Amino acid sequence: GLDLLFESIFISSEIGFENPDRRIFSHVEIKMGLQPTNLLHIGDNPLRDADGAINAGWNALILDPENQNPGYYRITRLDELLSLLPNRS
């Protein structure tokens, strides 16, 4: 049900490029009409997801149930995302 909280969700396999390919991030920027600093990428792989997003100028958040990725902004459960969203508690 988290998808109801987002304006858009993009899935790399549906777009045709895999992370960390810069083209997936550019595709989303164009579709959303937003600058990279206004976008958040959520993933579970620090190298492909977080580093790819950060290198594209995006914000990145790692789903990390085992707390194995220090140095990244991370959550251990998806419901933790709710407290990070504007106007949510």
Model-level pTM?
0.81
**Residues 33-86 pLDDT 10s:** 999 999 989 999 999 999 999 999 999 999 999 989 888 999 999 889 888 877
Sequence-distant (6+) residues with CB within 8 A of 1 are: none
Task: Classify burial at 70, counting beta carbons within 10 Å of its beta carbon; exposed 0-12, middle 13-18, buried 19 or more.
Answer: exposed
CB 47 within 8 A of CB 20: yes
Asked if the model's pLDDT at residue 88 lies above 70, the reply is no
